[in-house]
Structure 1
Amino acid sequence: MAEKTLVIVSGGSRGLGENLVRALLADGHAVATFSRARTPFLDACAAEHPDAFYWEECDITDAPRLAKFVSTSTRRFGPTTALINNAAFATDGLFLFAKSQDIHRALAVNVEALMNLTQLCLAGMVRVRKGVIINVTSVSGLRGIKGAAAYGATKAAVDGFSRGLAREMGSQGIRVNSVALGYFESELSKELLESEQVQKIVERTPLKRVGQVGEMADVIRFLLSPAAGFMTGQTLVVDGGLTC
């Protein structure tokens, strides 16, 4: 089998991650992802793309298991040439009442584990002197959003990480960008989108709607493509104009 371009997607079992995995497989990439539980979608991908898809059960905060996942994926498909850091733990509610374990989990998943996975994938990218890293962040890291102080802090940290890493890795042919997403429709966000707070945000959004999950995925696919070959160290905002 000819070597495929390997894209690792964290949080690829549902929501935006599921949409990305589906689209990347259709684009001809080999895709590896992991999650804490198997889903019918993952089973379907394994059956339909046995030579281009790999899934492993893994919690992103389990560093040894994560290293094993990356090692197995690269043995199957070759060096990782693209990484989409999509997995996240969301906290919701006023920070005054936030539980310490939720704050710790958000930092562990959204920042520490993301950096760990990035470091694991960078080794292969440096060897072949090319690669693309895309960190999925949030508009809550760019502006204050009530009820998202802790979550926004983790996403702001990742935006800063993206810029610093872009400086370090540009000479190695590796591009690093963030995509700061606004509110968008997916099976995971239906209840949130019906809240009064989100409806008020929509009213303040120039396009007067939330995004579609496919619109978010398409921007990420653009950043993966040669069309974005001169873009690095950027935070691309996809929010219908909310932060303009």
Structure 2
Amino acid sequence: MTTAQESTGETAADDRKVAVISGGSKGLGRALVERLLEEGWRVATFCRAQNDFTRTIAEDRPDAFFWAAADLGEPQSLRTFARSVTERFGRIDLLVNNAGVLHQELFLTTAPKQIDALITKNLTAPIMLTQACARVMTRGGGGTVVNISSINAIRGYRGVTAYAAAKAGLDGFTRSLARELGAFNIRVNSLVPGFFDSDMTAEVTSTNRERIQRRTPLGRLGNVDEIADAVLFLTSSRSSFVTGQSLVIDGGITC
């Protein structure tokens, strides 16, 4: 039996929700891309250069996955990326500001250019991307923003002052933006992960890793799936009355 759409050559509109994940080529970002695709979302992500993962997914799931090059160090490229996502999928329902850059160095020896780069990549860039995506969300009736912060924002550690300042700024941005965007049915929260196995913690020495585990009430580091579970909770209907909050998931190390 031929439907009216088939007889006229029209195709049904794709009403699957669209997620934007910054830095979705590896680590937590990759886990979120994979799990959201499994749950039926269409997913867009960016990084500076395509890798085997993004290339394979783009080839296997052209209807549901979009990748483009963009750089946290060039915030204007993120606006261009958001426009491309909207042109490709027609909507944005979720933004996860996952991408970030960590540089460890004592404050007194850190060059001004390095400080500026850390603030740009970890605070200015997600703010710019959020503005571009939130404008699309307001036209679509609402959405969700999850900012990935760090326990460095709530507890002091040597050698990460500029990074900590940027992440603390991201938490403050979360609370203020939740106030502004609630009227548009847009929820904004931040996730504050502790130490978990990732590219950022790959260079932690075995001595420091053991020290962290001893100081953590649960006695271990987290894993990427546990962090992804928390992100997905904040994106789901189970958190529909949660906004302006910073959810700490750190095994208790900051308690």
Question: Do the aligned partners of 2:149 and 2:193 also contact (CA within 8 Å) in 1?
Answer: yes
- Which runs of no fewer than 5 residues in structure 2 stay unpaired? 1-12
2:227 pairs with one of 216, 223, 227: 216
1:146 aligns with 2:158: yes
Q: What is the TM-score with the length of structure 1 in the denominator?
A: 0.95
Pairing 1:79–2:85 present: no
Matched residue pairs, number? 243
Aligned to 1:99: 111
3-state SS of 1:47 partner? helix
TM-score (norm 2): 0.91
Distance 1:41 1:187 in 2: 16
Query: Would you say the 8 A contact 1:4–1:77 is kept in 2?
Result: no
Q: Does structure 2 conserve the Cα–Cα contact (< 8 Å) formed by 1:15 and 1:188?
A: no
Aligned to 2:9: none
SS in 1 for 2:44: strand
Tell me the amino acid that sits aligned with residue 186 of structure 1. Answer: S
Residue identity in the other structure for 2:136: G
Whether 1:121 and 2:133 are equivalent positions in the alignment is: yes
Task: Give ranges in structure 1 of 5+ residues lacking alignment.
Answer: none
**CA displacement at 1:195 relative to structure 2:** 4.4
Selected match of 1:15 from 23, 27, 45: 27
AA aligned to 1:231 is V
- Determine the structure 2 residue equivalent to 1:238: 249
How far does residue 4 in structure 1 lie from its aligned partner after superposition? 1.9
Give the RMSD, CA atoms, in angstroms: 1.3
Shift, 1:77, TM fit: 1.2
Find the aligned partners of 1:148 and 1:196 in 2 and give their Cα distance. 19
Residue equivalent to 1:35 = 47
Q: Which residue of 2 aligns with 1:178?
A: 190
Cα distance change, pair 63–93 in 1 and its aligned pair in 2 (3 A): closer
SS at match of 2:99: coil
Instruction: Tell whether the 8 Å contact from 1:89 to 1:105 is kept in structure 2 after alignment.
Output: no
Once the 2 structures are TM-superposed, how far is the Cα of residue 240 of structure 1 from its aligned partner? Answer: 0.3
C-alpha distance in 2 between matches for 1:169 and 1:187: 33
How far apart are the structure 2 equivalents of 1:79 and 1:222?
Answer: 21
